[in-house]
Amino acid sequence: MKPELGVCYYPEHWPEAQWADDAAQMVETGLSWVRIGEFAWSRIEPNEGDLRWDWLDRAVETLGAAGLKVVMGTPTATPPRWVCEKHPDMFALDEQGHVRGFGSRRHYCFSHDGYRAEAVRITRLMGERYGADPRVAAWQIDNEYGCHDTVVSYSDAARTAFRNWLSEKYGQIDALNTAWGNIFWSMEYRHYGEVFLPNLTVTEPNPSHVLDFMRFSSDQVVAFNRAQADVLRELTDTPLIHNYMGRTVEFDHFAVGEDLDIASWDSYPLGFLEDRSDRGEDWKRRFARAGDPDFQAFHHDIYRAVGKGRWWIMEQQPGPVNWAPHNPDPAAGMPRLWAWEAFAHGAEAVLYFRWRQAPMAQEQLHAGLLRPDSVAAPALAEAAQVASEMAGMEIETGTAPIGLVFDYESAWAWKAQPQGAEFDYFRLVFDFYRGLRRLGLSVDIVPRDCTDLSPWKMVVVPGLLHWGGLSDALATYEGVVVAGPRTGSKTADMQIPLPMGPNMNGVEATVARVESLRGDMSVPLAEGGAYQFWREVLEGDTLELSEDGIPARVGSAQRQYLGGWPDDDAMHRILGQAAEKAGLEVLDLPEGLRIRDAGQWRFAINYADHDWKLGKHITGAPTGRIAPHDVSWWLR
């Protein structure tokens, strides 16, 4: 596969006279793709039924004529004011019951049928106009589901739809009462009309109630997306895409991905480091201009799985953004490095966001490849460099040696019932991912319903709510397995199963009890490192004790269960030993230096602000040093 570059463009923001020059400069830079259309509803249809295709026709014509392939976005993330006048109850409500109204974006409730019909209507009209247009080579549906915490809504529409969803799922109300354990605290319902959304309760709601509400909410996203996808399928043969966000777990991306052809995500390494990293202030300081060395890679692997192998970056940060608490300039080289990290993980395309910095409205301090005055911003030359470096290059992703299970339901379950302030599912899985990457291991993300684990030499399963179909897959799997903590500790209904966890195929063990720990109370392990935040008292064949004499790991070298959340040292040691057991060569990469294997290529990527001697850290690497914020690749 030959990776490509592109950019996001808003022709409606610029004088029409500028379009042709912009398109020519894009092509000259080496860009192939241009995304347009998203957010343009008020120009396409300024009043109901008053359709203005002319300008968009000319934009497609101008961009296509320059040789660019267009990604057409459906504009449903930004319904115009008149749509909201027509459907005054289409807004989501927040947990306190306040309306989340018009004036920015994503101002709709996924459960509102009236708005869903409007979204389908405008999508059909766009599909009819451009679905067969040869210049439109892909479609993006909506934009960044879940951004600004928009998956969950406490509206009347959501309540009605939730009751229907529950009724479908459970049939007789007693089944729901049993599944949720409503006998506890006399929460039993007599009929579905008595069920409300799990907000505004006196103390925390029933976690089974919350989990079902999150499943429902996720399903509403899936259905909303599918409604548009179904329409576009009738009207176009080009691939359908959605652009997901970073660290967004409120809906099941795998399920949305089922209806699409390509997964893409919007990668803002510096913004995400600032506003959604758990690694503390010193870490953020060290990587403030480079981004977390593992965060992008983790998402690349997630979205490759969500896209069943096909994935893009639809929006790539080119310079400072506008929305994090602090918005520093990327270090020189990072816009190039980030693109290469994506290609090393199999991205088919990387589109920078955006072509020219907007001078108005909310994002006017978000950098583009051009400044507002059309002078080139630093990232433009880096994009051009990437384009020339990758000319003619073929990258095949292949299968990674490691499979790491990532499951959205588990994120919802532990958010409903964290038991310890630090227990966040994304954070837990990401810590395992980071540990694998420090070992120099490439990773595939595996969904919970995977039935065949044989492609991977080793499978890692942290914090999985319940085993589901994976249990059968394990029964026939011959590789190494590392699971826990909390994996298998619940039923699908979010109750404690009998026998109690982990219920792990091939490991005789019981989690006798659990405790959550203050950050200053880590439990040292006998062989080094410690468990932090979470520790279980295990019964079973002991592999290792904690220093206080409690079994910390049980099972066998081939198939083990961890009764805690390993800190960096324990993670490195335990995963390293397991990988060696699986026959894998492991490294100990220093902070900031990372590798990724893709087909015949090995990529080395340096997020540090100083250089490293490559050969010292990476077996088989070329001699010489890798500069700060530089990328290097060679045939392995």
Q: Does 625 bind its own copies (CB under 8 A)?
A: no
Give buried/exposed letters for 23-62 (b at 16+ CB in 10 A, else e). Answer: bebbeebbbbbbbbbbbbbbbbbeeeeeeeeeebeebbeb
CB of 418 to Zn ion, least distance (A): 20
Binding mask 522-561 for its own copies (x = CB under 8 A): ---------------x------------------------
Cβ distance to its own copies smaller for residue 518 or 616: 518
96 binds Zn ion (CB under 5 A): yes
CA distance 92 to 77: 13
43 is in the binding site of which of its own copies, Zn ion, none (Cβ under 5 to 8 A by kind)? its own copies
Residue 551 CA to residue 545 CA, distance in Å, equals 4
Is the omega angle on the peptide bond into residue 448 within 30 degrees of 0, that is, cis?
Answer: no
- Which listed range, 183-191, 246-254, 450-458, 592-600, lies at the site for its own copies (CB under 8 A)? 183-191
Which of 223, 514, 526, 587 is close enough to bind its own copies by CB under 8 A?
514
463 binds, among Zn ion, its own copies, none (CB under 5 to 8 A by kind): none
Burial of residue 223, with CB atoms counted within 10 A of its CB: 0-12 exposed, 13-18 middle, 19 or more buried: middle
Q: Which stretch binds Zn ion (CB under 5 A): 121-129, 308-316, 406-414, 598-606?
A: 308-316
- Phi, psi (degrees; rounded to nearest 5) at 546: -80, 165
Known catalytic residue: 315?
A: yes
Q: Contact letters (x/-) for its own copies, 191-220, by CB under 8 A?
A: ---x-x-x-xxxxxxxxxx-----------
Q: Is 52 annotated as a binding residue?
A: no
Q: How far apart are CA 467 and CA 249, in angstroms?
A: 19
Output 110 or 633, the one with its CB closest to its own copies. Answer: 110
Contact 451, 469 (CB under 8 A): yes
In the list its own copies, Zn ion, none, the entry touching 322 (Cβ below 5 to 8 angstroms by class) is its own copies
Q: Which of 187, 545, 587, 627 binds its own copies (CB under 8 A)?
A: 187
Q: Is 109 annotated as a binding residue?
A: yes
Query: Which span sits near its own copies by CB under 8 A: 134-142, 320-328, 475-483, 599-607?
Result: 320-328
- Count of alpha carbons within 13 Å of 281, Cβ hemisphere only? 1
CB atoms within 10 A of CB 551: 20
Strands (E), 477-573: 480-483, 509-516, 523-524, 530-540, 542-545, 551-555, 559-562, 564-566
> Closest CB to its own copies among 107 and 336?
107
Of 235, 233, 234, the C-alpha closest to 261 is 233
# binding residues, its own copies (CB under 8 A): 106
Minimum distance between the CB of residue 253 and its own copies, rounded to whole angstroms? 21
Q: Tell which residue, 408, 424, 177, has the closest CA to residue 276.
A: 424
Do residues 8 and 351 make contact, with C-beta atoms less than 8 angstroms apart?
A: yes
Phi, psi angles (nearest 5°) of residue 296: -65, -45
Among 24, 51, 99, 227, binds its own copies (CB under 8 A): 99
Q: Is 422 a catalytic residue?
A: no
Q: Tell me how far, at minimum, the Cβ of 322 lies from its own copies, in Å.
A: 6
- Token pair, residue 151, equals 């998956």
Distances 428 to 33, 474, 497, 550, 604 between C-alpha atoms, Å: 36, 22, 22, 22, 25
Dihedral pair phi/psi, residue 291, rounded to 5°: 90, 160
x/- mask, Zn ion, residues 184-203, rule CB under 5 A, reads --------------------
Gap between the Cα atoms of 548 and 397, Å rounded: 44
172 contributes a contact to its own copies by CB under 8 A: no
Q: Which is nearer to Zn ion, 144 or 348 (CB)?
A: 144
Angular region, 470: left φ>0, alpha ψ -120 to 50, beta rest: alpha
- Cβ atoms of 209 and 198 within 8 Å: the answer is yes
* Beta carbon nearer to its own copies, 320 or 463: 320
Residue 524, beta-bridge partner list: 530
Residues between 253 and 272 with contacts to Zn ion, criterion CB under 5 A: 266
Binding its own copies by CB under 8 A: which of 2, 58, 86, 513?
A: 513
CB closer to Zn ion, 259 vs 266: 266
Q: Which of 99-107, 294-302, 339-347, 570-578 is the region at the interface with its own copies (rule: CB under 8 A)?
A: 99-107
Residues 270-299 that bind its own copies (CB under 8 A): 281, 284-285, 288
* Residue 323 is assigned to a ligand binding site: yes
User: Least Å distance between CB 169 and its own copies?
Assistant: 17
Residue 101 contact among Zn ion, its own copies, none, beta carbon within 5 to 8 Å by kind: its own copies
79 counts as binding its own copies under rule CB under 8 A: yes
**Of 38, 118, 144, 274, which residue is the catalytic one?**
144
Distance CA 129, CA 78 (A): 20
Whichever of 248 and 546 has its CB closer to Zn ion, that residue is 248
Exposed, middle or buried by CB within 10 Å (0-12, 13-18, 19+), for 194? exposed
> Among residues 466 and 594, whose Cβ is nearest to its own copies?
466
Q: Please give the single-letter amino acid code of residue 418.
A: P
Tell me: does residue 46 bind its own copies (CB under 8 A): yes
- Residue 148 lies near its own copies (rule: CB under 8 A): yes
Query: For the chain, how many residues are written?
Result: 636
CB of 262 or CB of 595, closer to Zn ion: 262
| Residue 633 annotated as binding site | no
For the CA atoms of 239, 244, 250, 256, the dihedral, rounded to the nearest 10 degrees, stands at 0
Three-state DSSP at 564 gives strand
Binding region for Zn ion (CB under 5 A)? 96, 266, 315
Q: Which residues fall in the annotated binding site?
A: 105, 109, 143, 323
Q: Residues with catalytic annotation?
A: 144, 315
- Binding-site residues for Zn(2+) sit at 109
Going by the annotation, the residues of the binding site for substrate are: 105, 143, 323
